[in-house]
Homo-oligomer: A and B are copies of this chain.
Amino acid sequence: MTTLRKIALEEHFMMPGFETYSKAFLNFIDPATMKELGQRLADFDTLRLDEMDRAGIELVVLSQSGPGVQAEPDTTLALRRARENNDFLAERIARRPDRYAGFAMLPMHDPLEAARELERCVKQLGFKGSLVNGHTLGRYYEGREYDPFWERMQELDVPMYLHPIDPWKPLHALDGAPVLAGASWGWGVETASHALRMVFGGVFDRFPRLKVILGHMGEGLPFQRWRFDSRFAAYPYGVSLQRRPSEYIGTNLLITTSGVCSHPTLVGAVGEMGVDAVMFSVDYPYESTEAAARFIDTAPLEPAQLEAICHGNAARILGL
Interchain CB contact under 8 A, A167 and B177: no
Roughly how many angstroms separate A2 CA and B184 CA in the complex, as a whole number? Answer: 41
Return chain B residues, CB-CB under 8 Å to A317: none
Q: Is A224 touching B220 in the complex (CB atoms < 8 A)?
A: yes
20 A-B pairs with C-beta separation under 8 A: A28-B237, A138-B172, A171-B171, A177-B197, A180-B196, A184-B245, A185-B193, A188-B224, A216-B224, A217-B223, A220-B220, A223-B265, A230-B287, A231-B259, A234-B286, A262-B272, A263-B271, A264-B270, A264-B272, A267-B268
- How far is B184's CA from A263's CA once the two chains are assembled, in angstroms? 26
Closest to A266 in B: B268
| The residue from B171, B189, B226, B261 contacting A265, defined by CB atoms under 8 A apart | B226
CB distance from A204 to the nearest CB of B (A): 15
Q: State in angstroms the CA–CA spacing of A18 and B317 once bound together.
A: 52
Give complex CA distance A222, B263 in Å.
12
Q: Check A216 against B220 for contact (C-beta < 8 Å).
A: no
Find residues 135-183 in chain A having any chain B CB closer than 8 Å to their own CB: 135, 138, 140, 167-169, 171-174, 177-180, 182-183
Question: Interface readout for A204-245 with B: 1 if CB under 8 Å, 0 if not?
Answer: 000000000000110010111111101110111111000001
Q: Which of B167, B216, B262 contacts A225 (CB 8 A)?
A: B262
Interface size on A, residues (CB 8 A): 67
> Of the candidates B174, B179, B217, which one forms a contact with A224 in the assembled complex, judged by CB atoms under 8 Å apart?
B217
Asked if A201 lies at the interface with its beta carbon under 8 angstroms from chain B, I say yes
Is A200 at the interface (CB under 8 A from chain B)? yes
| Contact of A94 with B by CB under 8 A | no
Chain B residues with Cβ below 8 Å from A238 are 179
Q: Are B271 and A264 in contact (CB under 8 A)?
A: yes
Please state if A169 and B172 are interface contacts (CB–CB under 8 Å): yes
Chain B hits for A261, CB < 8 A:
226, 230
A112 within 8 A of B: no
Cα distance A171–B167 when bound, in Å? 9
Contact with B along A272-303 (1 / 0, CB 8 A): 10000000000000110000000000000000
